[in-house]
Each structure stands twice: as structure tokens, then as C-alpha cells.
Structure 1
């Protein structure tokens, strides 16, 4: 075997060994961005009040983790009594009703919704939900969704991150900037994707489906 063949063989062996190894600290990998508009999740009790006893959500579009966008929509109302109509319900039903809005929505509604991860509802803002069959007044349950990244275990290993780890994401361009304190949520049901709301996307010039580098 000549010298060139030996070098090629060594390089091939090294590349094979590197496959699947975690990302080194500071190295960048890209993640797809999903821009999330205002929406809500309902519990069984509130589903019955808003849409009728025994009613079921009608799946319209499949989402990650067994979730789906339903055909059903509602109207939400805050202290300013300026309603926002056609707010999409996501399924399946949950144990607790949760409304996710943007900071701009909060101004229109007159609510002070905290920035929270999904499910962290204690002490969150009150909101009224109106459906075709009735209305629900929540003492808490309205939040501004905190930006986050969903990852499969395989992708988390490739990125060199773990569940609940916090990373940064760089948005390039004239209106871009560094998105800091982005928690990673790892589950086998997830498709790897970063979720931000419409305010963050518009402010940083990020289009739905963009790929942005993650800084570990």
C-alpha cells in the first residue's frame, strides 16, 4: 500500500469513529424553526362547556408528539374587552386548559401573561374563553410561550445536549440577534424543531421553516 492509500485509509477510519459523536462545546449545528401563532389546549370539562357535552375535537393537521391542530376555534377576551377571534384549539385534550398568546396579544387583551414553558400555569393570567355553546372564565391559564427546542433523543446526542439544558440560537440578518436561554426538551415522540412565537419571529426577521445555528 502506497503512502496516499495509507493516508486515505486512516482518514476514513477517523471519520467512521467520529460518526454520531456529540457536538463539542461551542460547535454549531442548525435547527429548524416553527413559528407558533396564538392557540389553546382544553381540558374535558371546558371542552364540554364550550362545544357541548361529549363533544370531540376534529383533527385537521398532525403535529409532533401526537398533537394536532383541530378545526375548532374559540374567542378569547381579556380586561380590555377587545376580543381575539378564531383562536385555534390544539388536541388532544389535556388535564388543564392553557391559552398561549403573544406579548402583542396581551396588549390588545389587557392581560399580563407571564413568559412560561407549557404546563407552568400557577399564577398565570386570567382569561375568558367563548365557544359556540358557552363560555369559561379562567382565574389562571394564559401565558406567553417561552421559546424552546424539541429534540429526539438521537438528535440530542448528536448535538451534545440533554433534556432541560439551556442553549443559545443565532438569528442572522439585518434584524437578527442572539436568542439566549433556550431550553431543550427531549422526548422520543419529538421531531427536532425550535418553537418561537410570532412576535419573536417578526422582530428578528425569522421565517417559518428557517434553519438557525444552535450554540451549545
Structure 2
């Protein structure tokens, strides 16, 4: 099976099935992984769990509405970029949504291509895209994400595309433990691409190539971290 050319996972929180399916179709065609949630509470839980690169959130959701969902995220310090979608073209609604922590706003009906363009722009402006051109060192590991080169202890290491993306994502926050689901969403753009075993296999390959001392920390039952100062 070939791996998707993923740009990261987008969580779509939309209770109207036809709109949700259309958003998923166009976002997937643009290279994003897409996870759908049908109500506010499940959408909130999914964003917390999956750490997507962006979320598209309908304002008029069952359970808790979209503005409350984002208010709760922001109160927790979660800065996931959010595009609000609403059926109302009302300036008060737009201002309220943005004041509560939304990053952009679309009014139904909208062009799916415009949605994709807005998501791309939002991800570019976010910290996720800002990390892409950085050169960084973490302990004995050095990455040049512009030239896609990696050195371990001064020796250049040849990595596959997926191995590089996985290492680069872990290097954005040295010491932080990422769950397998978070790594799947960030690197593969999916929450079920071959199961979480896929992450374990690629981490084992990275360990073999990067050598000792082991640059990764495994938290059993949770996930992995790149050691800070490894």
C-alpha cells in the first residue's frame, strides 16, 4: 500500500452529513487527512485527542455549539487553528466567533475550493508550517528540514520520507510525549493508516539508523518523545 501524500489531519465538526462529506472529499483531494465528528462534544474530544493541524467547526452543532467548543479549547491553552462555518451571514456572529478564538470564518453556502484554500492558508500561518523551514539541533541529532537532511553525531543519515517526517515532528517539541494517534495524524494524515503499529515500526527503523545512545524515549501505552539533549 502506498502512503498518502499527507499535509496533516483536519478535524471537521459538522452535523449535516452532505456538507461534511463534501468537505472531506475536497480536503482529502488536497492531501489532508480528514476525521469527521457529528456533534460538539465528540468534536471537542477528537480535537483534544488527535491534535490536528486545523479544525473546521460548524457553529450550529448539537450538544455544545461551535463557539462553546472553541472557547473550551482556548481555555485549556489549545491553539489548534479553527475555521468557523455558519449558516448566518451576521457581523455580530462573525465578531463573536473570532473573539472566542476562531481564526477564520465561512458562511454557508461556500465553495469547497475556498474552504481548502482557507485551510491551507491557516496551516501555513500556524506554527506547524513555521516549523517546516527551520534548522534545529536536539542533542546529537541535527535536522535541516529545508534540505531534508539529518545528522547523528555529525554523521549524515539517510532516511526515508516518512522516517524524516516522523523525526521532524518529534523534534518540534523535544521531550514532549506524542501519542501514536497524534503521530499518525501529523505524519500520515490519518488516524487509522495501518493502525498504530505503523508508528512503532517506523520508530524502530529510526532507532536502528540513528544508533546509540537511543534518541527516543518510549512511554509504554502512550507513545514516544525525542529526548531533550539526547
Is the TM value for this pair above 0.5? no
Higher CA-based Rg: 1
- TM-score range (shorter-chain normalised) is under 0.3
> Larger strand proportion, structure 1 or 2?
1
**TM, length-normalised to structure 1:** 0.26
**TM, length-normalised to structure 2:** 0.25
